[in-house]
Amino acid sequence: MTTATAERALTAADILENARALAPVLRARSEEIERARRLPPDIVHMLREAGVFRMNMPRDWGGPEMTPMEQNEVIEELSKADASVGWCAMIGSDSGLYSAFLDQRVAREMFPRLDMIMAGLVYPAGRAERAPGGYRVSGRWTFGSGCTHCDWLAAGCLVFDGGRPFLLEGGLPEWRIVIAPPSSYVIHDTWNSTGLRGSGSLDYEARGLFVPSERTFTFRDESRRPGALYRQPDTFLRKMPGIPLGVARDAVDYVIAAARRRFDMPAMVPYAEVPRVQAAVASAEGMLGAARAYVFESFATHWARLEAGGEPTPRERAAIMLARLNAFQASRDVVTLMYDTMGGAAVYADKTPLDRHLRDVTTMCQHTMGQRKVGEWVGRLLLTGKSDAPFL
């Protein structure tokens, strides 16, 4: 990619339109993506050219600095065509967010182009031993979605000093995120999953890797960049709901289209005239519409508060988390209902997208933020006004 191409101006509307234009190509390549268990290089190139990975890049760098609502619309469009592409786009576009926590001179050196891609697991599965000028990093991380095509690979670590855990005030160990080129790690081909098979969510490992301090940060740090987009605590999670919502939307659309050409045997009644099919489609539309509305309504309230310079209330923070959780869980319910509605035909992975959709939403609901235990964290916040959960 040329520098001129990488730095061309793209608006949020441009990127959304580009994502829609890519959808037919992604849908046609979906089986290939799943077989490869990672995104093919030319698909990654298309996504770069579309501007998908620059969604969080700041305006003063020439980026679009898109709102969470705008980003979720893009992720939805990609996920309708292929969930693994949507997942990798969600992760890869974090580059604009990670760079906000670094010294901005360093960040610009690390991200000289707007369409550079991030990947990595931020949970502290590794060990960062303090060393002159930085850290010696060792460990192994799972769920490295996009690590096969990223420009930078992050890893969460607990900090050690002289072989002992480095404790912060209050006695908690320091949790630090380190960032290094993917070539610095050993990548392990471990991603043999139920769904999201094309996301390349492999394990990766570091063995005594030196990472300079300037390429590390903690979530206790303040953002080095102004703007509502870069405010904590849920910066990295705001665009997640678009993936399940996009998959569920495609499942419902498929059943509506299929019902117009199928017949219920042996009565030979068109599916579109069968009461159970009609009721299932109506129920699915209701569940999906409610889930999507909750996501965008909670975002609008949250975003308005951040843009005004205020701090979201506990109830507003809870709504964001609940809307995200509901998007995952309700989308799985919608896809399951559509799968059941189509009966035996749904099991043929080469004839309908429903098998893939069911596997994909099942897998994505295993992500920490898609699991029902999130409700416990939110309940505590609503009842006590406090939460020790990450990103809440």
Per-residue pLDDT, 131: 98
pLDDT mean over 353-375 = 95
Q: Which of 91, 385, 86 is nearest to 237 (CA)?
A: 91
DSSP 351: T
CA 298 to chain centre: 18
pTM of the model: 0.95
Nearest-angstrom CA–CA distance, 314 and 95: 28
Q: Tell me the C-alpha to C-alpha distance, in Å, between residue 340 and each of 58, 333, 346, 391.
A: 44, 11, 8, 35
Q: Do domains 3-110 and 240-384 have the same CATH topology?
A: no
Number of neighbours of residue 227 by Cβ within 10 angstroms: 14
Token pair of 61, please? 């760098």
167 DSSP 8-state letter: B
The token pair that represents 81 in the structure block: 């065509």
Across the chain, mean pLDDT equals: 94
Instruction: Please state the rounded mean pLDDT for residues 22-41.
Output: 97
Does 81 or 171 have the greater pLDDT score? Answer: 81
Do residues 143 and 136 touch, judged by C-beta distance below 8 A?
A: no
CB 329 within 8 A of CB 323: no
Pick the CATH number of 240-384 from 1.20.140.10, 3.40.228.10, 3.40.50.720, 1.10.443.10: 1.20.140.10
**pLDDT-based confidence at 6, cuts 50/70/90?**
very low
- pLDDT attached to residue 233: 64
> Per residue in 100-143, pLDDT tens?
999 999 999 999 999 999 999 999 999 999 999 999 999 999 99
Confidence (pLDDT) at 269: 85
Q: Is the pLDDT of residue 2 over 80?
A: no
| 273-282 mean pLDDT | 96
Domain ranges of the chain: 3-110, 119-213, 240-384
Percent of the chain with pLDDT over 90: 87
The pLDDT of 42-54, averaged and rounded, is: 98
119-213 maps to which CATH number?
2.40.110.10
Residues whose CB falls within 8 Å of the CB of residue 244, separated by 6 or more in sequence, listed in order: 79, 327, 328, 330, 331, 332, 361, 364, 365, 370
Q: Are strands 175-180 and 269-270 parallel, antiparallel or unpaired?
A: unpaired
Calculate mean pLDDT across residues 337-344.
Answer: 96
Quote the pLDDT of residue 115: 98
For 35, other C-beta atoms within 10 Å of its C-beta total 10
**Residue 388 confidence class, pLDDT cut points 50, 70, 90:** confident
Do the Cβ atoms of 316 and 298 come closer than 8 Å?
Answer: yes
pLDDT tens by residue, 227-245: 999 987 677 889 999 999 9
Task: Provide the CB-side half-sphere exposure for 251 (13 A, CA).
Answer: 35
Close Cβ partners of 372 (under 8 Å, ≥ 6 residues apart): 325, 329
pLDDT above 70 (res 313): yes
CATH of domain 3-110: 1.10.540.10
Length of the chain: 392
The phi, psi pair for 124, rounded to 5°, reads: -75, 75
